[in-house]
Structure 1
Amino acid sequence: MADDFPRVGQVIDYHYLWKWQDARGETEGRKRRPSCVVVVAIDRNGKHHLFLLPITSKEPAAGRQAVLIPETEARRAKLDTRFPLWVIVDEVNYDILETSYTLDDRSPRGQFSPAFSDQIVLAFKAIRDTRTLRVSKRT
């Protein structure tokens, strides 16, 4: 595991479980996909509570909230730059680092800049504050 993991703005490969899959009773993400760490909270026992946002190349459907990733940020995060990518901000996976069965590779593939990370966090918080955030618990 990287010494600086987890940090907001880091991009990891994660078996992301979409909320529609969770609602159908699925417990495993169907494939590893780049995901962005958006919140890291450390509890009094020292456990890291992670909130992870999916990154997708599929243009978000109408009504979904996402942030388009600029090409320079995609390169910084070591993502494919041949097509547009989005960070979906209205859906999140919640996981605990120390007990996670899905975080098998804990080395980040890359990191968004602080300015772009702030943009993602602000968009995420706006959705969270409206209480329309879709959460799949992986614990």
Structure 2
Amino acid sequence: MLRIESVLGSRRDPALHEAIHHLEHHHAVEFVTIAVGDLDRRRLMARTDKGEEVAITLPRDQKLHDGAVLVLDDHRAVIVRAGEQRWLRFSPRSASDALELGYHAGNLHWRVRFDGEDLLVAQDGPASAYAARIEPLISGGRVEMSEVAE
């Protein structure tokens, strides 16, 4: 098992780029895909795309990010790849429905963005869990919910 206790930098760092580029030509770069919702975690278990188990325990002042370099030596590099973020689209029927939906999204601390009149919510669990929290709006036909992939 590979134990990681710090992030070395970003694959976009000029100081690391040349070494990583060289290892890519020798098929010696491994990726650890981490769900977007897990990037803020300091401790987690994962697996590289070549099957090696990775135990990550980061100090409080470091965060995982897409392109984070976890290992870089003469023989290989291990780099974080952020997984695809899934989104739920909530389409309110009226301005008052949008206001109530926004109230709930804020109180529930959902990560959101806007797309026209729709509210997009970053999906970190099953869609049914989100629907249950605003069930009266959905069952009353005041808000429609659909899943979106990006």
The TM-score bracket by the shorter chain reads under 0.3
Higher percent of residues as helix: 2
Q: Which of structures 1 and 2 has the bigger CA Rg?
A: 2
Q: TM-score, normalised by structure 2?
A: 0.20
Structure possessing the higher relative contact order (Cα contacts under 8 Å, 6 or more residues apart): 1
Q: TM-score, normalised by structure 1?
A: 0.21
Higher percent of residues as strand: 2
